Amino acid sequence: MKSPVAQADRAVKRYQKGFGGALLITGERNSGKSSLSKFIAKEHFSESQCYIIKAPLAGSVLKTELFEAIIDATKSNLVINTLFDTLPKNQVFIFNDFELWWERTPEGARAMDEILSFIEEYGKKHFFIINCRSQSYDFLNRLYSLDKYFLAHVVCNPFDALELKEMILQRHRAGGLHFMLNGKAEKDFNAYDYAKLFNKYFNLSGGNPGYTIRSWISNILDINGKIFNIRFPVVPDTSRLKELSNDNCLLILQFVLHRRLTTSKLSRVLREEEGKVGKLIGEMLRAGLVEEKFTGVYALNFHLEPFLVEELKHKKLL
């Protein structure tokens, strides 16, 4: 099987031969989708040709907000109708977190449809990169048959334990840092010691690089100059997740599909009164299932999210 980078390179070559369409990159949350998107763009195009389109923190289905995001990224004073025509050929547009431009409501595909129309109309002139959470894309593809818009679909697969080790240690070695674990210095580690440590991180994270980095940082106990003390990763107590009610699981599913939600957005998705939805979010906050990522914007608890996703899969909801 070709590596993700090789698959993406093939999509770029198809574009350069005159094929229209976009490159799709999917994976779990924190699996490296945005980083891979930027890497591919900068490997084949100059940095000045690359534009990263960011959705509002809570997402949006409004075409006006989509247009504003594109104009802001390109630092253009052009109106959207002429921007793609006026810009020189071979510009790259990276749409991070595609799922944030959609919501599960009757009018929830307006912004997403506009992005797809850009790909259809300008996909031979400009290169589009779309990245999206795997579960969200699978759901959207079932609803809207999206595969036809893409030259290639690249999946950010989990890392193995050795890859997690290299990722973590390269970051520290670049800064001249070294760790100690239970009084044992890194310089005294043998292959077994490394395997024992990073297999624990693999088992905890499922090979997710972003989750591993966050977990590694949270398990640093103290820092003394260039030496920091760490502990083995602490596994959250997930026993109570088996007791989640069907209603709670359906709420968690909306956070998986939409990534981030406000009370008003979730009330539209559930077709429930905002007051009732606000109480549901309050209960989830107290239970530690969600966290307030930004003011009034909620997401699944980062440390529990992989386990919550697995529980939904176990219940056949994903």
pLDDT digits (tens, 9 = 90+) for 78-97: 889 899 999 999 999 999 99
Do residue 12 and residue 147 come from a single domain? yes
- Mean pLDDT for 95-121 is 98
Do residue 224 and residue 243 come from a single domain? no
Do residue 115 and residue 203 come from a single domain? no
Do residue 94 and residue 151 come from a single domain? yes
| pLDDT band of 1, cuts 50, 70, 90 | low
Element (H, E) at 229: strand 227-230
Do residue 165 and residue 268 come from a single domain? no
Segments forming the whole domain that contains residue 166: 161-230
Number of domains the chain contains: 3
CATH code of 27's domain: 3.40.50.300
Do residue 54 and residue 135 come from a single domain? yes
> pTM of the entire structure?
0.94
Express each pLDDT in 135-150 by its tens digit: 999 999 999 999 999 9
| pLDDT band of 53, cuts 50, 70, 90 | very high
Distance of alpha carbon 318 from alpha carbon 310, whole angstroms: 9
**pLDDT at 47 exceeding the cut of 80:** yes
**pLDDT at 221 exceeding the cut of 80:** yes
Distance of alpha carbon 219 from alpha carbon 208, whole angstroms: 16
Burial annotation 124-143 (CB, 10 A radius, 16+ → b, else e): eebbbbbbbbbbbbebbbee
**pLDDT at 109 exceeding the cut of 70:** yes
Express each pLDDT in 265-314 by its tens digit: 999 999 999 999 999 999 999 999 999 999 999 999 999 999 999 999 99
Boundary of a domain, candidates 230, 263, 283 = 230
Percent of the chain at pLDDT > 90 equals 93
Distance of alpha carbon 289 from alpha carbon 314, whole angstroms: 17
Do residue 134 and residue 206 come from a single domain? no
SS3 180: strand
Phi and psi at residue 26, to the nearest 5°: -125, 165
Express each pLDDT in 127-182 by its tens digit: 999 999 999 999 999 999 999 999 999 999 999 999 999 999 999 888 899 999 99
**pLDDT at 59 exceeding the cut of 80:** yes
Do residue 126 and residue 182 come from a single domain? no
**Average pLDDT of the residues of the chain:** 96
**pLDDT at 203 exceeding the cut of 80:** yes
Distance of alpha carbon 200 from alpha carbon 233, whole angstroms: 7
Do residue 283 and residue 192 come from a single domain? no
**pLDDT at 228 exceeding the cut of 90:** yes
**pLDDT at 40 exceeding the cut of 80:** yes
Percent of the chain at pLDDT > 70 equals 100
Boundary of a domain, candidates 205, 230, 255 = 230
**pLDDT at 117 exceeding the cut of 90:** yes
CATH code of 270's domain: 1.10.10.10
Do residue 100 and residue 173 come from a single domain? no
> For position 81, what pLDDT does the model report?
81
Distance of alpha carbon 200 from alpha carbon 216, whole angstroms: 11
